[in-house]
Amino acid sequence: NAGVTQTPKFRILKIGQSMTLQCTQDMNHNYMYWYRQDPGMGLKLIYYSVGAGITDKGEVPNGYNVSRSTTEDFPLRLELAAPSQTSVYFCASSLVYNEQFFGPGTRLTVL
Amino acid sequence: AQTVTQSQPEMSVQEAETVTLSCTYDTSESNYYLFWYKQPPSRQMILVIRQEAYKQQNATENRFSVNFQKAAKSFSLKISDSQLGDTAMYFCAFIFSGGSNYKLTFGKGTLLTVNP
């Protein structure tokens, strides 16, 4: 099993550009999550999904959108990138209430 | 809302010694899970140990053990025989095990440095 994979690993965006962060898991987990981690801070939940077609907002959803058309994939869309979105983004998946398995992260810089 | 507090932003320990990282949490729920995650310089988040709130026995995983005090809402992590590879950021996390709340709440982390 590859576990949770994320692409790209690094990305630099200009202000106002858009991009999609990809996340795929091969563990057949229903629950998937997107977090951001700012320097020296813990993880903050952006969006989560409890199954295909079902998504909900976390703590910091503004400026982001998600979709979940399959169990395996949970892409995160950034529209109109802003410097405040410079962060490391982690995707995770889990069975309900169990440990969350994390991807390797995407380091995003918005200039 | 649940909150998780890690009061030690940084700690250091000598190789082969024992260190304890503190975590307290605030919740009105009685059924929940607690976790310690490790984030080494590679940034990969790795589960270290997990504790179910309904279990009185403290969880252990090799050199890692917890001291879970439910009444005090305390969940500390003890690392025995510290190794250089234990150098990492450690996050305490909480999830309520009921209803429709599937969100993991993290503390801000403790940076642990193991010195040779």
d(CA A51, CA A91): 15
Chain A residues 35-94 within an 8 A CB cutoff of chain B: 40-43, 45, 48, 50, 58, 88, 90, 92
| Minimal-distance CA residue of chain A relative to B4 | A42
pLDDT surpassing 90 at residue B56: no
Q: Are B103 and A60 in contact (CB under 8 A)?
A: no
Q: What is the pLDDT of residue B83?
A: 97
Yes or no: say if A60 and A34 are a contact pair by the CB < 8 Å rule. Answer: no
Instruction: Read off the pLDDT of residues A64-78 as tens digits, 9 standing for 90 and up.
Output: 999 999 999 999 999
Q: What pLDDT, in 10s, does the model give residues A4-31?
A: 999 999 999 999 999 999 999 999 999 9
Instruction: Tell me if chain A has a CB within 8 Å of the CB of B88.
Output: no
